[in-house]
Amino acid sequence: MSRGAVRAGGSVFGSDLAIRLGLANAAGFIAFMPLLTLLAPLRIEAVDPDAKALILSGVALVGAVVASLSNIVAGWLSDRTRSRMGRRRPWLLTGVVGALAAYPLILFAQTGWGVLIGVVLFQLMFNLFFGPMNALLPDHVPDARKGLMSSAMAMGAPVGLAVGAVLAGMGDLSEATRFALVAAVFAAGVTPLLLWREPPGPTVPPSINEQAPATRRRADFALAWSSRLMIQLGLSASQVYLLYFVGRAAADGAAFPERAPAALVSTLILVSTSTSVVTALAAGWVSDRTGGRHLYVAASGVLVCAGMAVFAADPSWTTALIGQLLYGAGVGLYSTTDTALVAQILPSRADSGRDLGLFNLGNTLPQALAPGLAILVLAGAGWGPMGGYPALFAIAGGSALFGGIAAAFIRGVR
C-alpha cells in the first residue's frame, strides 16, 4: 500500500464526505419510506377506495421489480461513466431530479394507473440516485472505517420510519403538504452530496478480497449474497405477520396486557427499534477495531433466530419483549456489519456499482418470497389453537440462522 494511497483515502474520508453521505442516505430513506407506506396508499384510497388493496399490491409489486432492475443498471452505468463530475455524481443528480418530478405525478393522479405510473417513475429515478450513492462506500471509505460509516448509514431506516410516523400522526396536514415536506427534506438532505467534488476514481487502496484469487472472490460473493437473502427472508417473513401473531396469541388466552393488538405491537416495535439503533451504532465502531465482520453477521443471524424462537416457543408478553430485544440486537448488528462486509468483499472495484445492485436483490427478493412462504405455512392444517404462526416464526428464525452460518464461511476479510 503506497503512502500516497493512504493519504488519498484519508483525505477524502477525513473530509466531510462522511457527513454528506450520511445525510444523503437518511434523506433517501425519508424520500421513499413515507411515500410507499403512507402517501401512495392514501392517494390510492382517494382515487379508488373499493379496490385499494388490489391496486396497492400491484403498485408495490411492479415498483419493487423496477427498483431492483434499475438499481443494477444504474450501478453498472455509473461504473463506466467518465465525466468532469465524476463517475457517480451525474447519476445522483439525474436520479434526484427525476424522483422529485415523480411526486406531483403521484399527488395529482386521478386513477390507480396514474399512481402506478408515478410510483414506477419514482422507483426508476430514485434508484438512479440510490445505487450509485451506495457505491461511494467502497470507492472512498477505507476498510478500517467502513464499519463506522455503515453505522451512520444504518440510521437511515429508523429516520425514515420516524418521519413516516410523524406525518401519519399529523392528521391536520393536507396531502399536498405531506408530499411537499418529504420532497423538501429529501432535496435538502442530498444537496451537500451533490455539491461535493467527486474524485475521478476510487481514492482508497483495494480491499484484501480484491487481491485474492478469482475463485475465492466469487465464492465470497455467493456466500455474502446467500447470507443476505436468507436473513432478509427471515426478517420479512416474521415482522410483517407480528401483528396477526400477537392478536392470535392474545385471543387464545396468552398472558398479554389488556390492550389492542396494534398497541401491543407498537410497543414491541419501539423496543426492537431502540435496541437496533444502539446496537448498530456500537457494532460499526467495534467491528472496525476487531475485524472479522463476517463473524458479526453470523452472530446477528443467531440473535435474530433466538428472538423469534423465544416468542414462537411460548407466546406471552414476557417472551415477546425478550424476543424483540434479541431480535432488535440482531437487526442492529446485521444492518451495520453486513453493509460494511459487502463493501469489503466486492469481487472487483471496477464493477462495484453493478455488484451492489445485485446484492440489493437480496433485499427485494425476500419481500416477494415471504408472502408465498407465509401462505404455505399458515394454510397448513393441524397446527393447533395458535395456527401456523409459531411455525412461521420458527421457519423465519431458521432462515436467519442459516444466513448467519453462510456468512461465517466468508474468507476474504481480515
φ/ψ region of 315 (left if φ > 0, alpha if ψ in -120 to 50, else beta) reads beta
| pLDDT at residue 409, as a whole number | 94
Closest listed residue to residue 132, CA positions, set 179, 164, 100, 85:
85
Give the Cα separation of 301 and 306 in Å (integer): 9
Fold of 209-408: Growth Hormone; Chain: A; (1.20.1250)
Closest listed residue to residue 270, CA positions, set 341, 320, 340:
320
Where exactly does CATH 1.20.1250.20 map onto the chain? 3-194, 209-408
In single-letter form, the type of residue at position 380 comes to G
**pLDDT means over runs of 10, the chain (414 residues):** 38 65 91 88 91 85 89 93 90 97 96 95 96 91 86 84 75 88 94 91 74 80 94 85 83 82 82 90 90 94 95 90 94 92 85 90 84 80 71 93 96 72
Q: How many CA atoms lie within 13 A of 370 on its CB side?
A: 25
Which position has the grid cell 463473524?
295
Pick one of 3.30.70.420, 3.30.110.60, 1.20.1250.20, 3.30.70.20 as the CATH number of 3-194: 1.20.1250.20
| pLDDT at residue 8, as a whole number | 39
Give the Cα separation of 164 and 276 in Å (integer): 18
| pLDDT at residue 238, as a whole number | 80
